[in-house]
Amino acid sequence: MHSFFDQSYRTPSWLQKRLSRRHFLKSAALASAATAVPMSALAAAKLAIADLSIEPWRSLDAVLNHLLPSSDSGPGAKELKVVHYVFNVINSQPSDPAEQEFISNGVGWLNGYTQKNSATDFALLNNDQKEAALRAISQSTAGENWLSTLLSYIFEAMLAPPSYGGNPDGIGWQWLNHQAGFPLPPTGKRYYELPSYALNKAQRINITDIDANDDALKQGKAK
């Protein structure tokens, strides 16, 4: 594919799974296993921050801020630090490489579109031009899926504990008058502080078992 408007594009399976309830339950199972890793197995890594001066983070930040702008009524993507949440999810969680590629490719396709129509990258457009560009790409299936993916990350960042990179000081919870569950993962047990082998072990134990049960259910052989 070379643009959002490629007629050969079809909604990928990873996106269908991402939006499904079953996939959410798998993610929850993985998170539960990860937080159960002994303290001795934890790394001392700190929350990583996306460099907004380089792509794709500069353009992603601009898109996220346009999708949920700052306002007097509540925090926007900037205050919620959504781009940093996305950065940590993509770089620390065992996310689908196809999803990572789609998000990155989407930045190139978006900037290709705005370069063609406005002779500049998306991040440098004014508000009306940004609105027009996003509305234009949303008319394509790929563009609609790309924007839907980013919107889902906005909601995740707004509702996730601050330890995962977004929602600093719980401002998203306060805005929504939401009482978060407890206990929250302490420093040292947040997912981006876990060594890769611990995440991989948790993924093998939980996701493989759940997938096996899925297959059994489909064949009428649920355990």
CA atoms within 13 A on the CB side of 172: 22
**Residue 175 pLDDT greater than 90, yes or no:** no
AA letter at 6:
D
**Interatomic CA distance for residues 72 and 222, integer angstroms:** 51
Cβ contacts of residue 28 below 8 Å, gap of 6+?
A: none
**Interatomic CA distance for residues 215 and 9, integer angstroms:** 28
**Interatomic CA distance for residues 63 and 166, integer angstroms:** 16
Q: What is the pLDDT of residues 208-223, one digit of tens each?
A: 343 444 444 445 544 4
In this prediction the pTM is 0.71
**Interatomic CA distance for residues 4 and 112, integer angstroms:** 10
Cβ contacts of residue 126 below 8 Å, gap of 6+?
A: none
For residue 55, the 8-state DSSP code is T
The residues facing 66 across adjacent strands are none
pLDDT of residue 194: 60
120 pLDDT band, cuts 50/70/90, is very high
100 burial (CB, 10 Å; 0-12 / 13-18 / 19+) is middle
Q: What is the pLDDT of residues 46-64, one digit of tens each?
A: 567 889 999 999 999 999 9
Contact 173, 161 (CB under 8 A): no
